[in-house]
Homo-oligomer: A and B are copies of this chain.
Amino acid sequence: MKEDGSEQDRRTIELIESIASQVRGAIESGLLPAIRTPTRSLENVSYNKKAGYLELGKKEQVRALTVNTARAFAQTLRLMAASRAMVASNDFATKREAYYISKNWGDCRFDEQAESDAIMDDIEAIASLHGLSRENLRFYPESHGGSVAGRLVIVDKSAATGETIEIDCARLGVGAYSIPRSAEHLAFRTDARFILAIETGGMFQRLNNHRFWERAQCIIVEMGGVPTRATRRFIRLLSDRHDLPVYCFVDCDPYGFTNIYRTLKAGSGNAAHVNRFLCVPRAQFLGVTPQDIIDFGLEDATHPLTPVDIKRAKDALRNDPFIVAHPRWVAAIKQLLDMGVRAEQQALAKWGLNYVIDEYLPRKLSEVSGFLP
């Protein structure tokens, strides 16, 4: 991923043209054309402990042209053609827009977005085997990324003039930089020591207003719950290119552990073909941990685990390949189940609004080796 945007664009067009050539070649030879796509179902997904994420296996399916598949086959080719055109014109389409542009495709128009999404996933899975992401194909997610502030200069380029634009994330006041839907073309300058990925917007605003990133020499990112695709890709690129550890600061509950943190770090099973681009294997769990509830005296600012919490925790202990592979996570989740309570990151406000800045984060950051994996 160190290559620049134009090199990725060249490879994207090359890939699309090579598939199109194969199809055309088959037709011209009087053969029925076929397109091979990686199988995306869970049976073809496993946790690669070394790489640190859930990944696709080698199983493939072949979409051959038949009477039954003619429509989907044509739709696949048209979506690839749309992708090629967008790369050439430096444009993009959201998944929803991609669905609508088909309305002019006559008989092969999509009737529902579920159809175009499924075909887009197939194309994305093919591209992923060539190191190209859906953003390279110019299909962008609808949701923007979270907010960013701190010791980071983002280097972008004016679409109109080609002029370099630098955004200093230490000079945005109490506002922040809103991560765009594709970060592929961005470059970064930073002297930060780490990235702090924060679950809630309120906590992000607190750390930003008090310029926590200045004294801790870091970059803060608001995830706003489960991080969107754009947020994950942004953190991944920044962490990779500048060799920055990523510390996660989320609620102490099964949702925080297995949905927010695990998604950021290891990806999710039903989108295994994209994890190699999106997940952040270097992420570590700063807190709030079950042990923190004891160490920081938060017992009376907790809430009982709900039945959903308990089910989610037990499911993770049984079935989550990431959790199962990490004995310290298994122990932490068992400890939480024994304690029977959950704690939000805001619970630290019990000791004063800025206890989190003055006490909690400095103490935790002084012992990074204690972070959960």
Q: Residues of A at under 8 Å CB distance from B?
A: 86, 91-94, 96-97, 99-101, 103-104, 140, 142-144, 147, 154, 156-160, 165, 167, 171-182, 186, 200-202, 204-206, 208-211, 214, 222, 224, 300-301, 344, 346-354
Asked whether, in the complex, the Cβ of A103 is within 8 Å of the Cβ of B350, the reply is yes
Asked whether, in the complex, the Cβ of A352 is within 8 Å of the Cβ of B159, the reply is no
Interface residue from B222, B348, B349 paired with A144 (Cβ < 8 Å)? B222
Interface residue from B140, B156, B171 paired with A202 (Cβ < 8 Å)? B140
Residue of A186, A201, A211 ringed by the most chain B CB atoms within 10 A: A201
Instruction: Given the known inter-chain contacts A147-B178, A165-B171, A201-B143, please indicate yes or no for A97 contacting B156, CB distance below 8 A.
Output: no
Closest chain-B Cβ to A183's Cβ sits at a distance in Å of 9
Q: Can you report 9 residue pairs joining A to B where beta carbons are below 8 Å apart?
A: A99-B346, A142-B200, A144-B201, A144-B205, A158-B173, A159-B210, A160-B214, A177-B177, A178-B178
7 extra interchain contacts, Cβ-Cβ under 8 A, other than A100-B349, A159-B209, A173-B180? A91-B354, A144-B224, A154-B173, A156-B175, A159-B210, A174-B182, A175-B179
Tell me the nearest residue of chain B to A202, going by C-beta: B94
Closest chain-B Cβ to A185's Cβ sits at a distance in Å of 8
Q: In whole angstroms, what is the CA distance A94 to B101 when docked?
A: 42
Main secondary structure of the interface of A (DSSP, over half): mixed
Residues of B within 8 A of A91 (CB): 209, 353-354
Asked whether, in the complex, the Cβ of A176 is within 8 Å of the Cβ of B178, the reply is yes
Closest chain-B Cβ to A237's Cβ sits at a distance in Å of 13
Closest chain-B Cβ to A184's Cβ sits at a distance in Å of 10
Asked whether, in the complex, the Cβ of A92 is within 8 Å of the Cβ of B350, the reply is no
Asked whether, in the complex, the Cβ of A172 is within 8 Å of the Cβ of B177, the reply is yes
Closest chain-B Cβ to A45's Cβ sits at a distance in Å of 28
Residues of B within 8 A of A101 (CB): 349-350, 352-353
Closest chain-B Cβ to A318's Cβ sits at a distance in Å of 32
Instruction: Given the known inter-chain contacts A101-B349, A142-B200, A349-B93, please indicate yes or no for A175 contacting B171, CB distance below 8 A.
Output: no
Interface residue from B93, B96, B157, B201 paired with A173 (Cβ < 8 Å)? B157
Asked whether, in the complex, the Cβ of A202 is within 8 Å of the Cβ of B154, the reply is no
Residues of B within 8 A of A158 (CB): 173, 211
Q: In whole angstroms, what is the CA distance A250 to B47 when docked?
A: 42
Asked whether, in the complex, the Cβ of A167 is within 8 Å of the Cβ of B156, the reply is no
Q: In whole angstroms, what is the CA distance A110 to B204 when docked?
A: 24
Residues of B within 8 A of A349 (CB): 93, 97, 100-101
Q: In whole angstroms, what is the CA distance A130 to B182 when docked?
A: 45
Q: In whole angstroms, what is the CA distance A104 to B350 when docked?
A: 6
Closest chain-B Cβ to A203's Cβ sits at a distance in Å of 8
Closest chain-B Cβ to A206's Cβ sits at a distance in Å of 8
Q: In whole angstroms, what is the CA distance A349 to B165 when docked?
A: 29
